[in-house]
Chains A and B, each alone.
Chain A
Amino acid sequence: MNPDDTKKMVETVDVSPAMPEAPSGAASPDVFRQLLHQAVRVADLSNAQAMRMAMDFAKVYEREQGVRKEFELQLRQMALMEKQATRYAEDLAQMLRTERERRHELERALEQERIANEELRRTGLQGISHLLLAATIKDRTTGDHLLRVRRYVEAIAERLGLPADLVEEFGYSSVMHDVGKIHTPDHILQSEHHLSDDEFDVIKKHCTDGEKMLGDARFFEIARGIAREHHERWDGKGYPDGKKGDEISLAARIVSVADVFDALTSKRPYKDAWSAEAGLEAIEKGAGERFDPEVVSAFVGLSREGAVDRIRQEVAATSSEQNGSSAK
């Protein structure tokens, strides 16, 4: 191979002059990739293999003919180019290896963080279930009530178009709306009579108590809002703060609808269970007064599609299943 050919070939290579602006710090991985890409092209064109062959031929030629002088310069240049191309290839391969190792390390670190996060989440959820166990034993609220509220909340949140991770967070946060009732004296909580104003003031404290119990971890942020605000009303006539409209967190506005609907349609010591139709009618009446109209219309939509009935049936089925197995 004539070295002039190599030159011509290399000269025809189009190297775009419009390289991206270089970063000011150390050479970035992008630069490495560019370098490697380009070097592979140049190395290809320099065709080290062809050069070695040419030099081997030259050696034979020299030995046979005794003329080397005229090729001396070209041969030296070819030898240099071959070394140069090899050096580039080695350097770039090393850079690529380093970059790959760094990426693997990064991936490992990310994976570890994911595991740690998952562990934290599990710890949080476990804490919730202990908290709830305590609260339900005291309040005589059933686990079924909490499960139905959770399912309603998730369904409403999903229908409102919230992203899946938020739907889940609203769901697990909703079950803690009444944890503050642990502090409420039994005689008031379990009273079957009409409460006096003083007694009702004590009941109201479960919202702020619940918020306090849920600490300051990010995991319970939504839950704290729900605990404090689930008795607030859209028209501002609720408690404990008298917030109205958007001042109340969306999660709390959703829980409010789900909680009231389930309370109405469940049997309590002082009342029978309402039918789903009657419960839904009451909720619709409350739109714009007690409840956020958008949340209500989402809930009504779910009900029309049969989602509310389905949740009620599914929860009833799992609970009778559990009762059945524990009876054995």
Chain B
Amino acid sequence: MAKLLVADDLVPIRQMVRITLSTQGWTIVEAKNGNEALDLVRSEKPDLVLLDVDMGPGPNGFDVCRQIKADQATKDIPVVMLTAHESDSDRAIGFAAGATQYLTKPFGPLELIDTIRGILAHS
């Protein structure tokens, strides 16, 4: 059973993501900011990370993604950006930081499930 980390500063978003993904039998770990996300990625070794970009003080989602990819121990964990930043330049930044997929808010439940399922199937 896959373990997923979701990092977002908004409780309702984390709630929605958790509800949606737990229907697939996946375990969800939650982080409410960038630093917490980095700690949990190292300690929990999730199978996939979902990252918001703006998460209040501390590193933003792009920074977190770069650090995950820079660390030998975590660089193979796929990262999905989940953010309201929908411009092409933001997407480019996300992919340059090492993200596997880039989803924009508002996201639909099936879109989220299918994206994650696809990535998990390939890794």
The verdict on B84 contacting chain A, using a C-beta distance below 8 Å, is yes
B64 → A minimal CB distance (Å): 19
Structural contact, B13 and A19, CB atoms closer than 8 A: no
For chain A, the count of residues having a C-beta within 8 Å of the partner chain is 33
Main secondary structure of the interface of B (DSSP, over half): helix
Structural contact, B16 and A88, CB atoms closer than 8 A: yes
A302 → B minimal CB distance (Å): 57
Q: Chain A residues near B18: list those with CB within 8 A.
A: 15
Q: Chain A residues near B113: list those with CB within 8 A.
A: 27
Residue ID in chain A nearest B107 by CB atoms: A87
**Given A7-B11, A11-B11, A80 and B24 contact (CB-CB distance below 8 Å):** no
**Assembled-state Cα–Cα distance A267/B11 (Å):** 91
Residue ID in chain B nearest A33 by CB atoms: B23
Structural contact, B15 and A91, CB atoms closer than 8 A: no
Q: Chain B residues near A22: list those with CB within 8 A.
A: 23-26
For chain B, the count of residues having a C-beta within 8 Å of the partner chain is 23
Main secondary structure of the interface of A (DSSP, over half): helix
Structural contact, B109 and A88, CB atoms closer than 8 A: yes
Structural contact, B15 and A84, CB atoms closer than 8 A: no
Q: Chain A residues near B111: list those with CB within 8 A.
A: 91
Q: Chain B residues near A21: list those with CB within 8 A.
A: 25
B57 → A minimal CB distance (Å): 12
In A1-28, which residues have CB < 8 Å from any B CB?
6-7, 10-11, 13, 15, 17, 19-22, 27
Chain A interfacial positions (CB closer than 8 Å to B)? 6-7, 10-11, 13, 15, 17, 19-22, 27, 31, 34-35, 38-39, 42, 45-46, 77, 80-81, 83-88, 90-92, 95
